[in-house]
Amino acid sequence: MNRVIIVIVGLLLLCGLMSVAVIDVHAAGSYTFTPIDVPFTGGHDTSAYGINITSHIVGDYIDSDGYYHGFLYDGSAYTAIDVPFAGSYDTSAYSINSAGVIVGSYYDADDYVHGFMYDGVTYTTLDVTFSGSFDTRAYGINNSGYIVGDYKDDDGYHGFMYNGTTYATIDVPFPDSYDTSAYNINDAGIIVGDYLDVDAYLHGFLYDGTTYTTLDVPFAGSYDTSAYGINNAGAIVGKYYDADDFIHGFLYDGAAYASIDVPFPGSYDTRAIGINGAGTIVGDYIDDDGYHGFVAVVPEPISSTLFIAGATVLGFRIFRKKPIA
């Protein structure tokens, strides 16, 4: 009888090990949501854009004079992120990798946009070097330091990928597609973003280095899908519009889509923008006071509980708004 119990518990333990990291998109409504509002005097309209594996969060906010500032939130303190070059203004911080390197964008004194990279000590400007290009924005960085974003030329927007030495254009190749933006890249080099079709509707995309795949939320009446974030497990977050023109976030695990909506009273227009390896999601929403950031913690899977229980029993026998469109 004791051997039977041990075998059963062992199977439960194995199930826990196999599925503890799985994100159940059907449980998206049970996430725990926490608002993120920069506490600086005069600061308002906070948006959270990126989160790394240690749950350090980056984003931006607006000051009392209407200027944007980036921020870094480490779970206990907020730090302003402002590109310090002469004449620069309107800094936004979009992504942070596991080493704490931040990328984003800022405006110069001539009102052109530039990307930046900040390693905690030094700010480095990122500008796509193709002839006729301008207004570079750096939206995503992976743990190898590869950066994605977009830039403009006379033909509109183009995505890019930068490996530290060379810029490569990312343009969705579907007929009549245009205005590609690349928003994030995971450690496998898989890129997500969005593009416009001939009717000026947005579609998300995934690019694995060889093939482009369109991502469209399939709910009735939905349109204008944008894919903003991807983690190393391939979970994707973004936003879409419903038939009543309200914005909803989404989570896509490669098989099913689930809506992500902040549940606070009076909240609407949720965007899910960043996701880390633990499945924690950041983004923003609107209420009567303007924009607010949020962090949504993934619900604890049942299998994790079984894992803990199994380990305990076996232990007796043998020894877990904004520039983004």
pLDDT tens for 38-61 read 999 999 999 999 999 999 999 999
pLDDT tens for 228-285 read 999 999 999 999 999 999 999 999 999 999 999 999 999 999 999 999 999 999 999 9
∠ CA 147-239-181, nearest 5°, is: 35
Structure tokens that stand for 114 in this block: 């530039």
Residues in a beta bridge with 149: 138, 160
Q: How confident is the model at residue 29 (pLDDT cuts 50, 70, 90)?
A: low
Residues in a beta bridge with 58: 50, 72
The identity of residue 205, as a single letter, is F
Residues in a beta bridge with 105: 92, 115
Whole-angstrom CA distances from 182 to 18, 153, 194 are: 32, 15, 7
Residue 20 has what pLDDT? Answer: 31
Please indicate whether residue 313 or residue 66 has the higher confidence score (pLDDT). 66
Residues in a beta bridge with 157: 152
Q: Is 145 exposed, middle or buried (0-12, 13-18, 19+ CB in 10 A)?
A: middle
Structure tokens that stand for 92 in this block: 């936004």
Structure tokens that stand for 21 in this block: 């990291």
DSSP 8-state secondary structure symbol assigned to residue 177: -
pLDDT tens for 187-210 read 999 999 999 999 999 999 999 999
Residue 325 has what pLDDT? Answer: 62
| CB 69, CB 299: distance < 8 Å | no
**Percentage of the residues of the chain whose pLDDT score is greater than 90:** 82
pLDDT tens for 140-162 read 999 999 999 999 999 999 999 99
Cα distance between residue 74 and residue 78, in whole Å: 7
Please indicate whether residue 21 or residue 103 has the higher confidence score (pLDDT). 103
Per-chain mean pLDDT for the chain: 88
| CB 101, CB 121: distance < 8 Å | no
| pLDDT beyond 80 at 169 | yes
Write down how long the chain is.
325
Q: How confident is the model at residue 324 (pLDDT cuts 50, 70, 90)?
A: confident
Residue 35 has what pLDDT? Answer: 98
Helix (H, G, I), strand (E, B) or coil at 316: helix
